[in-house]
Amino acid sequence: MAKVNLYLHVLARRPDGRHSLDGLVAFAGVGDTVTVTATDASAPSLRITGPMAKRTPAGPENLVLRATTELARRVGRQPGAAISLVKQLPVAAGLGGGSSDAAACLRALAALWELDADDARVADVARGLGSDVPVCLFARAAYLGGAGEIVEAAPRMPPVWLVLANPGFAVSTAAVYGAFSGPFSPPARLESAPGDAAELARMLAARGNDLEASARALAPAVSDVLAALAGRPGALLTRVTGSGATCFALFGVRADAETAATALARTRPEWWVRAAPLLTDARKPAN
C-alpha cells in the first residue's frame, strides 16, 4: 500500500551523513500487488506487470528480489520463489512503493517458509533494505525515529480520505535530502488521538514536511500539484509526502475526495491521481 508521510520533521544531520527524523506515517488504500509462490529454483524470479511496470527496475537492485535473497540467506535456505508484482504506484514518488513491495514480499515469504510472524530475522532484513521498509513491514499508523529504522505505534487514525496526485515524474530522494539545508525541526508527536478528519488536519497544520521546500525547488511542478489539490472543495490540508513528487489532500468526506480526484484526472490527464481511504491496518484489504 502507498505510504503517506502525514508529517515529516528533520531533526539533525547524523555523523554517518543520514538524517535523524521524526514523523507520522500512515497508509492509503491504493498500492501494488505482490504474489509469492514456492519453487525448487536456486534463485528467485520476478515478473512485473501493471501500468508502471516499464518504469520499475527488474534486476537484482529491485527491493523485492533483494528481500527474498537476504531472508533466504538469513534462514539458511534456497531463495527459490516465483514473485509476481503488479505495479500500480509511480516509481520514486515519495509513496514508498518499492519499500512496501519488499515488506509485502517479506510477510509472504515468512508465511510460505513457516516462520513466526515476529521472527526477528524478518525485521532485521527490513532494516537493511532501506529506511522506509521497517514502517512498511509494520503496515499501520506509526511514528518514525532514527533514520527511519525506529518504528512505534501511533494513535489510531480517524476515518479520512485522501487524494494522491503525482505530476508524472520521479524525484530523487537523495537529491532532495542533499538540497535540504535546514532549519532543523523539533520532534512533534501528536498530543492526543485525533477524533475526526478535521481535528487531524488541525494537528497536522501545526507540523509540516521539512523536505517540501527542497522538493519544490527541484521539481517546480510540485507547487502546481499542491495548488490544484488545495483548490478542491472539501480539502482540509495539502502536503508533499516523503521527498515528493507526490502530494496529497486530506478530506473528511469520501464523495468530496472522489469528486476531486475525478476533476483533477480530467483536467490534468498527464498526472497520476487516485482517491483512497486512510487505512487502519494496511495488512488487511481495503474496504
Model confidence pLDDT, tens digit, residues 121-142 = 999 999 999 999 999 999 999 9
Over 80: is that where the pLDDT of 247 sits?
A: yes
Q: What does CATH list as the number for 33-87+97-131? A: 3.30.230.10
Cell matching residue 163: 487524494
pLDDT (mean) for 35-64: 95
pLDDT of residue 287: 42
How far, in whole angstroms, is CA 156 from its chain's centroid? 18
CA dihedral 214, 220, 222, 224 (to 10 degrees): 140
The pLDDT assigned to 286 comes to 47
Residues 252, 162 contacting (CB under 8 angstroms): no
Above 90 in pLDDT, residue 282? no
Does the pLDDT value for residue 229 go beyond 60? yes
Range 162-171 average pLDDT? 94
> Is pLDDT of 3 > 50?
yes
Residue 90, preceding bond cis, omega within 30 degrees? no
CA end-to-end span of the chain: 13
pLDDT bracket for residue 182 (50, 70, 90): confident
Percent of the chain past pLDDT 90, that is, above it, reads 94
Q: Does 52 score more than 70 pLDDT? A: yes
Instruction: Report the C-alpha gap between 254 and 232 in whole angstroms.
Output: 13
**Per-residue pLDDT, 132:** 95
Query: What pLDDT was estimated at residue 117?
Result: 82
In the chain, what are the domain boundaries? 33-87+97-131, 156-279
Tell me, what's the pLDDT at 283? Answer: 77
| 66-101 confidence digits (pLDDT tens) | 999 999 999 999 999 999 999 999 999 999 999 999
State the catalytic residues: 3, 132
Mean pLDDT for the chain overall: 95
Residue with cell 519544490: 216
CATH code of the domain made up of 156-279: 3.30.70.890
Alpha carbons 267 and 273: distance in angstroms, whole number: 11
Residue 143 · residue 152 · CB < 8 Å:
yes
